[in-house]
Structure 1
Amino acid sequence: MDVQLGCCWRCENPIERDVACIVCGESKYCSEVCRFRDQWRHISECVEWRPKQCSNAKCGIVSGQLKECTACCDAWYCGETCQRQHWKDHKPSCQKRTQEIREVGAALKVNFHNYPKFSSEKAMMQFPYYIGNTLAIDMLNLPANESRREDERTEKTSELDTLEDSYSILSAGCGNIRNWIHTVASLPNEFKGTLHTVLNDCDIYVQARNVLQLYMMIMYSDDPNVAERITTIWYSLHLPEEDYKFLIDCLRALLGFSADSLDEVTGGALKLSETDITAIRPVWKAWLELECREGHPNYIDLQEQRRRLLYQNQEMEEGMKLYRKELPNELLQSFDEYDKHGNFIPGVNAESCNLPYDNPTLTGYMFTQSAQVTPIESLLFLMSGRFVYCIDNCLMAFSEWDYLKVKKHHYNKSMVVMFHSFISDQIKQTIASIKAGAQRVSIIICNCFDISARVDVESDRFDRIFTSNIVDFSGTQALLKVMKPLLNRANKSSTIITQHYGWYLSVPDSMVYGEITAAKTTLPAPQRVCEISSCAILAAYDINSDYYEDMLSRHPSTMTEECDKVIDANMFFCQEYFNNMNWFVSYLRAECMAVNKDSQSTNPPSFQKVKQSEGLQLRDFRRGNSNKVVPFRYRRNARPVNMTRGMDRMLEWHFA
């Protein structure tokens, strides 16, 4: 669960009087009011955590000790007798589910076949992810792992010892550095150890920006305004003259460094190979060569480029309109101002003439819009084309920093003021840790499947390995096979984190929507237009009560049209109100079937086998709060400002 232990699952305030869900007992609230308000969202998880009922109607016993049908994982029995008695009724649905898993597995096998070989080339044909599409996470989370107080009878080292130890993290397919910054900023104040982080990505554009930002933090750590400058340069379309000149100075300095001299000047805090710095140097050079001053004959005019990119089709426009509807009313004015101009600078008027420069680091070479270029060698060094604005319309600061943490840090009616303050503070804490000598960062540009050739397998062992959503393209077992040898077996808390971001794209719609549990609630008849619409209404109620009231005011026929429009434009709007847990389990089984080349069986592997892949153990996410490092999923309704999605899942693997 994405709520801190001891806090309410609805409002997140500390719990003084424990009020639990009367059915499953897992969800905790500070009051009956919060429990009632969270009931619609909680239904889909409650049905997973509550005691099961025997599927044999003649029995119907309810118990927490029932065993599931291993073939479909969608029926539960108290014993073999009940299972045999129910087989005639259960057989059609069980065989149907098994066949669906086979079909999904066959499709995934084709998708996964060539990924390790061609992933670098594929990445170069996409948007550079200068801004991430998932929330920043704490990849270490010491308080819930190494520093957690265990039973005194165990041989666990003391909490003080864990805060003085050294830790290593491998972030494969890392994207930008938000996860690293949030990890460092989340370290306990008492932490006296060191953290070595390897940031691995095959995208030279993203890595060029990562090195630039790291250099700024290390070399200008004594500048009291550097955190705010970095935040502005990270996200703002236009820059003040002082920030632009700071950026240009840093780019020019980086062009003059070799890998050894950069290592020396940063005191060993930032390392990369000569091959890698050579690969990203042309990106810095291209940014320097862009004419960013408004009014110049060769002015790049990023605002016009952004406008064309954001609103090039109706689907994008509808998506942004829906996002706006989900925002709290008091934030609308500030979002509209940001959306119009793209400025991420607090206290600056949108029409201000004090922002004379465009931000070159929001540009890249758009291979998807270029001529037919396929060889990877050409893609890596083809810098003759003009760099253009290349940020996907759904990627902005509001999409990658947790709104719940942001508003607790500094709530403001201006989204820019609120998020700029939070991000700057995260960077300040990171800079302080760097100055204390607690941080070392290594940049490695390569396909993550080749990472073993770039690290010392004999000596480099990582306490956490974060793999982004690479499993969406490769399959979990193939990735675990590569990463397992790098995991620190000596640390009982060592964990590999896999992120499933696009699993729903490979399965039928029936899998995505699963059992529509929210539709079984006691909604008034006018609101029960259809099952999916009722979920959309519940989501609207939780996220934006004004939008909910607007839905209720409509005639049932027009309400259906509105709900359909909402779901078509953004299917994630109401996704957490569906129970698709069993379908996600089915997907993991199909994925395992697709990757397992040695198996001659046409039967899908059991979920028990999936949980024990490659000699690692999966923390069973179906049993409540099983994850120890990151949440299995985030509550979307609690984060109307974030573009979180109801289907995103994060799994944790550890040594059995």
Structure 2
Amino acid sequence: MDVAIGHCWRCENAITREVNCRQCGVAKYCSDTCCRRDQYRHQPECEEWRPKRCSNPTCTSDSRQALKECTSCIEASYCGTDCQKAHWKDHKQKCRERAQEVRTKGAALQSYFQQQCGIPFAVPYYFGNALAIDMLNLQANECKMKLKPEDQDPLKSNFAILSAGCGNLRNWIHTVASLPADFSGKLHTFLNDFDPFVQARNVLQLYMMVMHQDEADIATSITNIWYSLKISEKDYNLLVACLTALQDLTSSKLREVTGGVIQLTEADMAPMREVWQSWLNLECRKGHPNYIDLQEQRREVFRNAPNAAEGIDVYKKEIPSDLVPSYDDYIATGHFQPLGSKRNDLQYDNPTLTGYRFRYGRNDVMKVLKILASPKKVKFVYCISDDLSPFGSWDYLKVKKNHYHKSMIVMFHGYITDQIQQAMRYLKAGHLSVSFIVWNCLELTVRLDPESCKCDRIFTSNIADYSGTQPLLKVMKPLLNHENKSSTIVTQYWNWYGLFPYAKVDGPASAGASRTKVLVECSIAAVKDTCIDIVGEAPLNNPVFMSIECRKAAGRGPFFLQEYFNYTTYFVSYLRAEFMAFNQSLGGVSDDVRHTVHMQSLLEHSGLKGAEAEMPTVKSGGEAATAKPPPFQKVRQREGLEMRDFRRGEPNKVVPFRYRRNVRRVNLFRGMERMLEWYIPESLNN
């Protein structure tokens, strides 16, 4: 669940008298009222967690504890072989269809991963596309473990985190800002991303935090430079000073002047230096020759995005009405400034919002490699995707709680600035250091020595969408700290439902059934869930009120209803199919497939710099028809690691398995995002 342990699943207040869901016993509330009001949101997960009955309708047993799953479809459960045989005539068609679906999708995924070779879309993610998370979460992990006399206090211990495909600094900043106030240990973070444009921005922002930490309003300036299209002369001068200093520093000198906080190799710094120099060379003042005019470039991005206008309209229907005017202002101008700032003072375009702008496919890999190896060769243009904004990457619940304002811009700006200020407290105290690595995460053991690099947490963004889970775990496990029982690898899945359209509430239904009934039921649940705390329970019994609100709910788009549809079985099918793509008689993704997203240093070592390289040859898989889909227990255990079992209500300990969507209507969730945690089983830890 996405609330702190010991807090109510509905109102998030601390629990003094615990009330559990009477059906599953997993959901926890502070009162019967919260339990009752959460029933509509909780229903889909409750269906998964509550004790199951034997699937044989003629079974007379009341036992719900000793049931065993059908290993083929894992959707039916039986109390014994007699019941399984008795039900087989009715069950076999659905069972065989589900097993065949997993086999078919497994073959499709095998082909996809072979073609993809771990390559994601290349767009500079200067703005995040997922919520900032606390990657350490000490209070729910090491601090909760019972210490032996010889154990060191976690608050005085040293920790290491690896963030692969890290994107921008939001996760690092939120992690540091979330450290307990009495934390006195040291935290080293490896920030890995194959994009030197993104890493150049990350180093720049951290350099500002270190070198200008004693200046008034420095956190405000960093937030302005991070997100605002236009900046003031003061912020622009700060930016120019930092870029000028960085381009003249060697990697060893950068480490020295930052007191060891920023660590990177000269090979990694070289392409970043080209990015800093290119930003410095841009003409950012209106009226000057060669003025870049980012506002017009931004309008062009929105004009050329086919679904931008429709997406903005749907989004405005979702967010609270009092926030719409400020959102309209942001869309129109791109300004992201604190309360009290004057538009006339924003005389400069923000050059750090520029970079390369295109999406690429497999055939464009070498073109992209050349750009990433030598950024100065590309024309720097406004490169923020139309579907990204500052409002999508910071948890609206936390933002609203600490900095509520009727202006989205003011509210989020205040929260982000506060997060930066809190992170800077630990920088001043000498608790932090960061290694920046520009490299393909699937080849990280080339850069990090498993003998010396022992990470307590490893985050992999949604790289599993492009590489599959198995290669990620294989690469990351040697880098995990096996001595820490709370060590965790996190894998994320955002695009999985592309192969399982049935998982969408408005998608096709199995066996040709209509989704109309499902949509109606989910609309009613959505209205009751989102309105009950505001209007109370009485209006929900009024047919006129419900009819009007259900029409509004439908107008907010399908993702608004997604939270009330139980589609866990499809996500499980995806994980089983993905497992088959690498393991069973489909043939598996060949070990000969080399991952091709390598940066400048890898190109140099392999002799490919400046030359064309052929794409890897991929071995074909075996026959899908005879492959047997794996039981879920087998899917949970890979590479000597075990996954926390979301099907049994086992909660994640570092990050939520999923987020509640409709309490975060500002955060642009689809409601399909999932996060899995992998840990070293106790049997291997002893």
Q: Same fold (TM over 0.5)?
A: yes
- Give the match for residue 310 of structure 2: 318
Give the C-alpha shift of residue 297 in structure 1: 3.5
From 628, 632, 642, the equivalent of 2:667 is 642
Asked whether the equivalents of residues 133 and 655 of structure 2 are also in contact (C-alpha less than 8 Å), the reply is: yes
Q: What are the superposed Cα offsets for residues 400-444 of structure 1, whole Å, 9 maximum, x if unpaired? A: 111111122222222122211111111111111111111110000
Q: What are the superposed Cα offsets for residues 115-169 of structure 1, whole Å, 9 maximum, x if unpaired? A: 44x62xx54xx3211111110111111111111143x7xx4866x6111111111
- Give the match for residue 353 of structure 2: 362
> Structure 1: how far apart are the matches of 2:352 and 2:230?
11
For 2:659, what is the secondary structure of its paired residue? coil
State how 1:215-294 maps to structure 2 within 5 Å.
Answer: 215-294=207-286
Asked whether the equivalents of residues 655 and 675 of structure 2 are also in contact (C-alpha less than 8 Å), the reply is: yes
Asked whether the equivalents of residues 553 and 561 of structure 2 are also in contact (C-alpha less than 8 Å), the reply is: no
> Structure 2: how far apart are the matches of 1:208 and 1:540?
45
For 1:459, what is the secondary structure of its paired residue? coil
- Rate the CA distance shift 1:620–1:369 in 2: closer, same or farther, 3 A: closer
> Structure 1: how far apart are the matches of 2:506 and 2:627?
24
From 598, 619, 626, the equivalent of 2:644 is 619
- Give the match for residue 125 of structure 2: 129
> Structure 2: how far apart are the matches of 1:363 and 1:565?
35
Asked whether the equivalents of residues 371 and 377 of structure 2 are also in contact (C-alpha less than 8 Å), the reply is: no
- Give the match for residue 491 of structure 1: 484
1:54 aligns with 2:46: no
Asked whether the equivalents of residues 371 and 378 of structure 2 are also in contact (C-alpha less than 8 Å), the reply is: no
State how 1:114-513 maps to structure 2 within 5 Å.
Answer: 114-116=115-117, 119=119, 123=121, 126-150=122-146, 155=148, 161-313=153-305, 315-348=307-340, 352-368=343-359, 374-380=366-372, 381=374, 383-507=376-500, 509-513=501-505
For 2:162, what is the secondary structure of its paired residue? strand
Give the C-alpha shift of residue 556 in structure 1: 8.4
- Rate the CA distance shift 1:52–1:170 in 2: closer, same or farther, 3 A: same
- Give the match for residue 522 of structure 1: none
Q: What are the superposed Cα offsets for residues 76-118 of structure 1, whole Å, 9 maximum, x if unpaired? A: 11122211111111111011000000111111101111444x6
> Structure 2: how far apart are the matches of 1:575 and 1:113?
31
Asked whether the equivalents of residues 512 and 583 of structure 1 are also in contact (C-alpha less than 8 Å), the reply is: no
> Structure 2: how far apart are the matches of 1:531 and 1:169?
42
Asked whether the equivalents of residues 230 and 347 of structure 2 are also in contact (C-alpha less than 8 Å), the reply is: yes
- Give the match for residue 11 of structure 2: 11
**Structure 2: gaps of 5 or more residues:** 510-514, 589-621, 682-686
1:582 aligns with 2:578: no
CA RMSD, Structure 1 to Structure 2 (Å):
2.9
Asked whether the equivalents of residues 317 and 556 of structure 2 are also in contact (C-alpha less than 8 Å), the reply is: no
Asked whether the equivalents of residues 475 and 591 of structure 1 are also in contact (C-alpha less than 8 Å), the reply is: yes
Give the C-alpha shift of residue 375 in structure 1: 3.4
> Structure 2: how far apart are the matches of 1:614 and 1:477?
8
> Structure 1: how far apart are the matches of 2:490 and 2:641?
12
> Structure 1: how far apart are the matches of 2:312 and 2:564?
22
For 2:404, what is the secondary structure of its paired residue? coil
For 2:263, what is the secondary structure of its paired residue? strand
Asked whether the equivalents of residues 356 and 381 of structure 2 are also in contact (C-alpha less than 8 Å), the reply is: yes
For 1:53, what is the secondary structure of its paired residue? coil
**Structure 1: gaps of 5 or more residues:** 518-527
Letter of the 2:670 partner, please give it: R
From 629, 651, 656, the equivalent of 2:676 is 651
Q: What are the superposed Cα offsets for residues 534-574 of structure 1, whole Å, 9 maximum, x if unpaired? A: 4245435645799999x9879989988x877654xxx4222
Asked whether the equivalents of residues 170 and 465 of structure 1 are also in contact (C-alpha less than 8 Å), the reply is: yes
- Give the match for residue 655 of structure 2: 630
> Structure 2: how far apart are the matches of 1:503 and 1:572?
15
1:593 aligns with 2:571: no
- Rate the CA distance shift 1:156–1:236 in 2: closer, same or farther, 3 A: farther
Give the C-alpha shift of residue 213 in structure 1: 0.6
> Structure 2: how far apart are the matches of 1:115 and 1:69?
33
104-113 or 358-367: which moved more? 358-367
Give the C-alpha shift of residue 529 in structure 1: 6.1
> What percentage of residue pairs aligned between the two structures are identical?
53
> Structure 1: how far apart are the matches of 2:653 and 2:19?
23
Q: How many residues align?
A: 630
Give the C-alpha shift of residue 308 in structure 1: 2.4
For 1:375, what is the secondary structure of its paired residue? helix
For 1:113, what is the secondary structure of its paired residue? helix
Asked whether the equivalents of residues 524 and 550 of structure 2 are also in contact (C-alpha less than 8 Å), the reply is: no
> Structure 1: how far apart are the matches of 2:549 and 2:161?
52
For 2:124, what is the secondary structure of its paired residue? coil
- Rate the CA distance shift 1:343–1:552 in 2: closer, same or farther, 3 A: farther
Letter of the 1:494 partner, please give it: S
Give the C-alpha shift of residue 393 in structure 1: 2.0
For 1:652, what is the secondary structure of its paired residue? strand
- Give the match for residue 524 of structure 1: none
Q: TM-score, normalised by structure 1?
A: 0.90
- Rate the CA distance shift 1:7–1:372 in 2: closer, same or farther, 3 A: closer
Letter of the 1:483 partner, please give it: M
Asked whether the equivalents of residues 9 and 27 of structure 1 are also in contact (C-alpha less than 8 Å), the reply is: yes
State how 1:510-549 maps to structure 2 within 5 Å.
Answer: 510-513=502-505, 530-536=517-523, 538-539=525-526, 542-543=529-530
- Give the match for residue 77 of structure 1: 78
> Structure 2: how far apart are the matches of 1:543 and 1:269?
45
Give the C-alpha shift of residue 295 in structure 1: 2.5
- Give the match for residue 611 of structure 2: none
Letter of the 1:365 partner, please give it: Y
> Structure 2: how far apart are the matches of 1:204 and 1:129?
11
Letter of the 1:654 partner, please give it: Y
> Structure 2: how far apart are the matches of 1:273 and 1:646?
39
Give the C-alpha shift of residue 38 in structure 1: 2.0
Q: TM-score, normalised by structure 2?
A: 0.86
Letter of the 2:574 partner, please give it: Y
